[in-house]
Structure 1
Amino acid sequence: MSDTTVTQELVITRVFDAPRELVWRAFTDPEQFAQWFGPVGWSVPRDTVDMDVRVGGHQRFVMVNDEDPSMTSPADGIFSEVVEHELLVGYEEAHGVPGLPDGTRFTLRLEFHEEPGGKTRLELRQGPFDPNVRSGAEEGWGSSFTKLDALLAR
């Protein structure tokens, strides 16, 4: 009997009411990233964020549960493609993710597109995910993007 795990890619398109450079900065500036990243109920302490935004560079941070700070979710990714204000591609190896063998490479691709009226269309692709985990990731991104909308409105 073979172990067959169905995996899916998460695809999200979101338009932000801010110029592309500002949306880019929210993803690549540690100060701003710490202010919005993570679903509601989780935060990213600024002192955990370390970014070197270049091909071969890294992005490291720790999400902390607001109600129980002992619950954490560390991230340690490597950038494989970077085009300023246009494209961020990176990967991270999964460990302890339900439905995926340890060492499975998660990829994240963020495309930043200019839209009329000074807006930005973000196209996000992330995966692979077990279908049950995928829906939670989608909810998490949506919740994070609500916090990003508030930051960009300032």
Structure 2
Amino acid sequence: MTDTQATQELVITRVFDAPRELVWRAFTDPDQFAEWFAPVGWSVPRDTVDMDVRVGGHQRFVMVNDEDPTMTSPADGIFSEVVEHELLVGHEEAHGVPGVPDGTRFTLRLEFHAESGDRTRLVLRQGPFAPEMRSGAEQGWGSSFTKLDALLAR
């Protein structure tokens, strides 16, 4: 990945039909996170999720392909900023990701904004990505958010 390819940041703004506290909980409660996170065709077994949501804390989990459970994608991130119900910021270093040099740092920033009508506007910023990876990440988040919508509707 060249420096120019690595400068693309993914930005997604999405409004959820649920109060900010519930959307926050879906991202920070291990039980709820395991229910919705991962694109369609993948899942996150609850026993792989470990979260310590505080500055310096961590978020670890493993995505597993539903058709071929030998295909996995582990994640191990560190929280650098946490403001309850408002902000989660963290980073993860890539290891063993095809086309990405080991040690490449990816950041994730999630802003939770209260909207009228008990709705929540989420602003997600993640990267840096090479163009082909950015597109895949965007599709993955969109697919995951469809599952999150269903969880929040319950």
Q: TM-score range by the shorter chain?
A: over 0.9
| 3-state SS in 2 of match to 1:126 | strand
Q: Which runs of 5+ in 1 are unaligned?
A: none
Distance in 2 between residues matched to 1:4 and 1:82, nearest whole Å: 29
Distance in 2 between residues matched to 1:54 and 1:136, nearest whole Å: 29
CA contact (8 A) 1:98 1:133 kept: no
CA contact (8 A) 1:99 1:130 kept: no
- Aligned equivalent of 1:115: 115
Identity %: 88
- Aligned equivalent of 2:46: 46
- Aligned equivalent of 1:11: 11
CA contact (8 A) 1:5 1:100 kept: no
- Aligned equivalent of 1:65: 65
CA contact (8 A) 1:6 1:130 kept: yes
Deviations 1:86-110 (A, max 9, x none): 0000000012334432111100000
Equivalent AA in structure 1 for residue 5 of structure 2 = V
1:35 aligns with 2:35: yes
Q: Which runs of 5+ in 2 are unaligned?
A: none
Runs ≥4 residues deviating over 4 A: none
- Aligned equivalent of 1:21: 21
Equivalent AA in structure 1 for residue 142 of structure 2 = G
Equivalent AA in structure 1 for residue 15 of structure 2 = V
- Aligned equivalent of 1:151: 151
- Aligned equivalent of 1:96: 96
Pairwise CA RMSD: 1.0
Distance in 2 between residues matched to 1:43 and 1:150, nearest whole Å: 15
TM-score under structure 2 length normalisation: 0.96
